[in-house]
Amino acid sequence: MTISSTSLNDVDIAAVAALASAVSADPAKAATRWKADVTWLGGFRTEAAVRDFEPLASDEPLGLGGTDTAPNPVEQVLAALGNCLAVGYAANATARGIPLDSLRIEVSGPLDLHSFLGLRPGHAGFSEISAVVHLESPAPAADVEALHQHVLTTSPVGHTLQSALPVAVSLAG
Amino acid sequence: MTISSTSLNDVDIAAVAALASAVSADPAKAATRWKADVTWLGGFRTEAAVRDFEPLASDEPLGLGGTDTAPNPVEQVLAALGNCLAVGYAANATARGIPLDSLRIEVSGPLDLHSFLGLRPGHAGFSEISAVVHLESPAPAADVEALHQHVLTTSPVGHTLQSALPVAVSLAG
């Protein structure tokens, strides 16, 4: 495969290739750890600090007892999935020499509030999540479909959501 | 149970109680649907629009081929979990008459990049997620522990991550 330009899709595919090479040479380099540090601000307002970035604000709608100053946590999950899928399309399109004219992803999911409200035991989260991908490219439809299938097999947030992940929440001593 | 004040923890617990009553009277009111609309901006930069809020920016670190202008999608998942847990503690502490002096939640998780980089098939997401909750309250430790256990059974993002969620990603026709 020849990559015609490292600026295709404005993606620094050389950096991705360099990381892949480095990981191939030393698999330990693939072991990453990610963090977020959340501070409660009162009510349902919180902010999540990630590295040195401006903290991300979170709140709940008025009907859920919040002050509606920011997206709520379940919306943030949908945003994270869409953002992750977009990175997957951009990275793999570039690696395959496929130019992207535009890319937009609508993510949505139903959530029954009974468990969150304590009215019924059981699953309090999304019952499913759907994403509809609007991808414009001059590439043949078969190439876009192959790209799409590849992205589904390599999405960190997609796989995180699709697996029954161990989540350990503990009170500090 | 008597709630001493609706302003405990600055939480509008009356709004939560009203929603719970409304859902009890009409279970269909519990059926909510949430959305995020992601737009690719070139490279690995994207933004996620949620309702009318300022879009949330996303990018990847330089080592992953991004331009490092914002938290990346897997960090956003951790942020969403911490934000959701914080809402759970604030809501249920208030419902139980427990004052919170402060609340901070450290969320982290390991992620092996082999699958994301296409070097190995398999799970591309977090293998686990941990959250350490720093909760300060004058309430008895047993009450805080009971609160903690209750939050774990009612967290929408926690349950979303812990379940093997159906995620359907389709290309628009």
C-alpha–C-alpha distance, residues B163 and B23, integer Å: 24
pLDDT digits (tens, 9 = 90+) for B4-50: 445 799 999 899 899 999 999 999 999 999 999 999 999 999 999 99
Task: Output the pTM of the full model.
Answer: 0.95
Residue B142 contacts A where some CB pair is shorter than 8 Å? no
Sorting pLDDT into bands at 50, 70 and 90, what band is B173? Answer: confident
Query: Which of A15, A62, A133 has the CB atom closest to B171's CB atom?
Result: A133
Query: Which of B16, B107, B172 has the CB atom closest to A133's CB atom?
Result: B172
Q: Are the Cβ atoms of B103 and A40 closer than 8 angstroms?
A: yes
Pairing of strands B102-112, A31-40: antiparallel
The answer, yes or no, to whether residue A149 has pLDDT greater than 60, is yes
A161, two tokens: 């959501």
pLDDT digits (tens, 9 = 90+) for A51-82: 999 999 999 999 999 999 999 999 999 999 99
Nearest Cα residue to B91 out of A117, A38, A123: A117
The arithmetic mean of pLDDT across residues B91-120, rounded, is: 96
> ipTM for the complex?
0.95
Sorting pLDDT into bands at 50, 70 and 90, what band is B2? Answer: very low
Handedness of CA B78, B79, B82, B88 (dihedral sign): negative
> What's the CA angle centered on B40, arms A32 and A68, to 5 degrees?
85
Contacts of A110 (CB under 8 A, 6+ apart): A126, A127, A128, B31, B32, B33
Contacts of B156 (CB under 8 A, 6+ apart): A73, A74, A111, A115, A116, A124, A125, A126, B84
Which chain B residues in 41-70 lie under 8 Å from chain A, judged by CB atoms? 42-44, 46, 48, 50-51, 53, 56, 58, 60, 62-67, 70
Residue B75 contacts A where some CB pair is shorter than 8 Å? yes
